[in-house]
Amino acid sequence: MRALIRIFLLAALAAIALSACGGSEEATTVEMLDNSFVPESITVSAGEPITFTNIGAVEHNAIAADGSWSTTDAFGGNLQADETVDLTIDTPGEYEYYCDLHAIQKDDGSWAGMVGTITVTEPEASGPSLVAGDLVVAQEDDAPEPELISADVPIEWTGVTRNVPADYPTIQAGVDAADPGDLVLVGPGVYKEAVQVVTPGITLRGTDRNEVILDGEFTRDNGVFVVADGVAVENMTARSYMVNGFFWSGVTGYRGSYLTSIDNRVYGIYPFDSVDGLIEFSYASGSDDGGYYIGQCENCRAVLTDSVAERNGMAYSGTNSSGEIFIVNNVFRDNQSGVVPNTLDSELYPPVNSVYVGGNLIIDTGQPVEEVPFNNVAWAPRGTGVALFGSVGSTIEKNTIINSLSSGVLVQTMIDNNVWPATDNIVRDNVIVGSGRADVSFGGPIASGNCVDQDGATTVPALARWTASCDGLNLPMPWGFGGGSEPLGRFVEYAKGAVESIPHGAAADPELDFDSLAVDAPVVPAVDVFDTYGLDVSTITAPAIPDGTVENDRHLVILGVDTTLDWWPLYAGMLLWWLPLLVWVVGGIWALMRVWGREASVAEKVVWTVLVVLLPVVGIFLFALVGNRDAAATNRWLSAWTMLIVWVVAVYLLFAPLFARA
């Protein structure tokens, strides 16, 4: 989603059978994904340039563990998305390095989290280099397994409690003293620290969720950063951190219960590259990306339930996180965007798949800019209750989705470095009211197998209830960009500076009056979390519409384009939806008149009719170029390519500044 402009323009070009070629760089390149170095290990000759490129959505750096070099020195700071820096290492040796925003130093001095290794040889023994143009992001069959920090995870409490501040002056001191299976119990107070957990199987618990507060003071990175397996974090608040509130990275077994995240800039509660987890009875607000984010995991086996997100850029975001993910029975209100599972090449394990979203109340999505923070990722799907970008086999059912500024549900193909079709997703049995543009929107290209079963729902395309049925006719959507035109326009709007987010920390904060976990609740390390929870989706029902809810009126939508939007989303809809529809209808009439008004076999007429009708724009282009035999060859080529070039130039001129920016 970071590259939506490139994504949708490439999709548009693909739809009209064009392709773009990229060259390769003659350099040893390390890609900074969110939050991994790819490749994790490289070998170079002394003095050979190394290129670090941030293709992730958030900032990163690379720092040698021995302090001998860093990208921050070479670049003058952290690398933002799409930024690149070159450096050289002149002394042979093996260098462990890390991103200090997404890694922790363990007791033995090594680093865990976002780490890598560079082996530097003598110049005459140069090692292999990775050419940037040859990079292939790991797919399902060749993705590396997550490295486990420790397999020594107890399944029971040891009976030992480490009291903070009675026995240890800081939370970090209590955590450092704990053995696997211990309880670190934190008393009331404001703790101005960033806690790092490297011991497996401990439980970090506050005595009162509203009175145990970790304060980042808008200077520290993460409130609680866990790189050990089986760690549970419970009953506390993290506020005002520059990156994340609660963060697990690369672990097996995690649980976040009765947590409050307020004004943590990127993500509130964030398991990354982690499996077998549960987030429950929690609250997140004030993040300009996602209040909750389960990121980059295969067979994630994770549940987000009974939690609230409000006033975030996105209520939930999940990039390349797949396999038995259940987002159920939550309340997501007053966010810019709602639930956004998505596929990107900036993280491992694409495509996102097998996500279940059910039983949630998603209300008033798409808030005024002066009230809710956002970044470009969250602004693109603004006003969408649930957005599946490049998802495979996900299910959206039994949710109540109210007053989405744009679409209640959007299912859209993604194109990044690769094409990620939206396929075999199900939208059914939801209560969707007050949608500004449509209750359900679909967008291609090469989307197929997606279906909607929503009686009375408004859709884009307008006939999707009948042409994309779950029980009847289900046609592929090979070239449709209607659903995706508005997110593209929003991305352009953000990139051109037409909108600006409120500063970090400026969103209204809630009163700290949340339900707390009992201090004497059982102490249970986070082991076999998913199986122990035992979710049964057959019991899920759509929440009732809250009393006093006033449903918004539908906007003036003409042929799938919301005409009440700001200029850039409207313009994108005109170019990517109205214009293709116009060409399809007017050009189709012209083509069919030509086909049936000349001497030709019935078979030929039927073939061209099918192509013109079922391949919008593309079929007409092919007919103008090949099938219009009565016209001179020069005229056929001139008319066909003129139609194509005019449209491509119009789209390019609109978005050219973004190409220069990328």
Which whole number is the average pLDDT over 31-56?
80
Q: Which residues contact 591 (CB under 8 A, 6 or more apart)?
A: 608, 612, 619, 620, 623, 624, 627, 628
Which whole number is the average pLDDT over 430-449?
91
CA distance 351 to 345: 9
Going by pLDDT thresholds of 50, 70 and 90, the confidence category of residue 53 is confident
Segment 102-132, tens digit of pLDDT: 888 777 777 788 888 888 888 753 333 323 2
CA distance 494 to 471: 40
Q: What is the DSSP letter of 67?
A: S
Going by pLDDT thresholds of 50, 70 and 90, the confidence category of residue 429 is very high
- Indicate whether 149 pLDDT > 60: no
Going by pLDDT thresholds of 50, 70 and 90, the confidence category of residue 653 is low
CA distance 270 to 243: 10
Segment 166-207, tens digit of pLDDT: 999 999 999 999 999 999 999 999 999 999 999 999 999 999
Q: Give the least confident one: 140-149, 280-289, 342-351.
A: 140-149
Written as one string, the DSSP assignment of 440-457 is EEEE-SSBBS-EEE-TT-
In sign, the C-alpha dihedral spanning 364, 368, 369, 371 is negative
More confident residue, 494 or 268: 268
Assess contact for 35 and 273: CB atoms under 8 A: yes
Assess contact for 390 and 381: CB atoms under 8 A: no
Segment 543-575, tens digit of pLDDT: 999 999 999 999 999 988 999 988 889 988 888
Which whole number is the average pLDDT over 151-172?
93
Which whole number is the average pLDDT over 296-306?
96
- Indicate whether 142 pLDDT > 70: no
CA distance 649 to 632: 26
Which whole number is the average pLDDT over 121-148?
39
Name the CATH superfamily for 25-130.
Answer: Cupredoxins -  blue copper proteins (2.60.40.420)
Written as one string, the DSSP assignment of 14-50 is HHTT--------SSEEEEEETTEEESSEEEEETT--E
Residue from 238, 259, 231, 255 nearest 112 by CA: 231
Q: 500: how many CB neighbours lie within 10 A of its CB?
A: 10
Confidence (pLDDT) at 23: 37
CA distance 209 to 226: 19
pLDDT > 70 fraction of the chain, expressed in percent and rounded? 89
More confident residue, 25 or 250: 250
Q: What is the mean pLDDT of the chain?
A: 85
Confidence (pLDDT) at 580: 80
pLDDT > 90 fraction of the chain, expressed in percent and rounded? 53
Q: Which residues contact 194 (CB under 8 A, 6 or more apart)?
A: 214, 216, 220, 221, 222, 223, 225, 241
Q: Give the least confident one: 104-113, 309-318, 619-628.
A: 104-113
Going by pLDDT thresholds of 50, 70 and 90, the confidence category of residue 470 is very high
Residue from 37, 540, 570, 107 nearest 329 by CA: 540
Confidence (pLDDT) at 80: 82
Segment 367-414, tens digit of pLDDT: 999 999 999 889 999 999 999 999 999 999 999 999 999 999 999 998
HSE (side-chain half, CA atoms, 13 Å) at 577: 29
In sign, the C-alpha dihedral spanning 597, 602, 608, 614 is positive
| Range among 39-43, 71-75, 496-500 with highest mean pLDDT value | 496-500
Going by pLDDT thresholds of 50, 70 and 90, the confidence category of residue 58 is confident
Confidence (pLDDT) at 362: 98
Confidence (pLDDT) at 544: 97
What is the separation of C-alpha 517 from the centre of its chain, rounded to a whole number of angstroms?
31
More confident residue, 331 or 646: 331
Going by pLDDT thresholds of 50, 70 and 90, the confidence category of residue 481 is low
